[in-house]
Amino acid sequence: MLSDLHKHLLNDYQRDFPCSEQPYREIADDLGVSEQQVLSALTELSEQQFISRVGPVIRPNHIGVSCLVAMAVPPEQLESIAEIVNSYQEVNHNYERENRFNLWFVVIAANQTHLDQVLCDIEQHTGHTAMPLPLIRDYFINLGFELNLHD
């Protein structure tokens, strides 16, 4: 069950998160609670898998370079290959798709040379080809959602 504080944190701070030296104190002041209550509630939301992280979303290729990558992995190896891919700090996230190319992930690096090195290393460690799918056209998809705060 979500408390009112949980709902406000999930709803009100999807955008316009305070960019200050003490953002959690600013949120606490806005919501009329303590900073510790905000931090505890965010920890609870993370533990309950309502959120995976608190951080900025930066448009692709505005800081460093990034690339979507697809791999065709035998289904029986998918979990172990995904673990290898996840071990790279340059990998933002990965997910399974129902396709011959069934493992997809995003790589972020400081420059193209570094990104290419990461992909080469992933191929060497997994034994599978990594197919880079560079961004050609940027589309903004608003992934925010409005919660009903009155339930």
| Domain range annotation of the chain | 4-47, 65-133
- 43-47, 76-80, 86-90, 137-141: the lowest-pLDDT one: 137-141
pLDDT of residue 58: 62
Angle subtended at Cα 143 by Cα 141 and Cα 145, rounded to the nearest 5 degrees: 140
Residue with tokens 């939301």: 45
- Write phi, then psi, for 24 (nearest 5 degrees): -75, -30
Q: Quick one: pLDDT at residue 137?
A: 78
Q: What are the distances in angstroms from CA 91 to CA 25, 69, 86?
A: 31, 10, 6
Q: Copy the structure tokens of residue 96.
A: 């399974």
Contact 97, 104 (CB under 8 A): yes
**Confidence (pLDDT) at 13:** 86
Q: What is the pLDDT of residues 36-74, one digit of tens each?
A: 999 999 999 999 988 877 876 666 666 788 999 999 999
Looking at residue 16, what is its pLDDT? 81
- Provide, rounded to the nearest whole percent, the portion of the chain with pLDDT above 90: 64
Q: What is the pLDDT of residue 11?
A: 87
| pLDDT surpassing 90 at residue 144 | no
| Greatest Cα pair distance in the chain | 54
Selected residue with higher pLDDT from 15 and 96: 96
Helices (H), the chain: 4-12, 23-31, 35-47, 78-86, 112-126
What mean pLDDT value characterizes the chain?
88
Under CATH, what is the fold of the domain 65-133?
Alpha-Beta Plaits (3.30.70)
Spell out the residues 6+ positions from residue 130 whose beta carbon is closer than 8 angstroms to its own. 69, 70, 71, 119, 122, 123
Is the sign of the CA dihedral 94, 97, 103, 109 positive or negative?
A: negative
Report the C-alpha gap between 56 and 124 in whole angstroms: 32
Amino acid identity of residue 31, one-letter, is: L
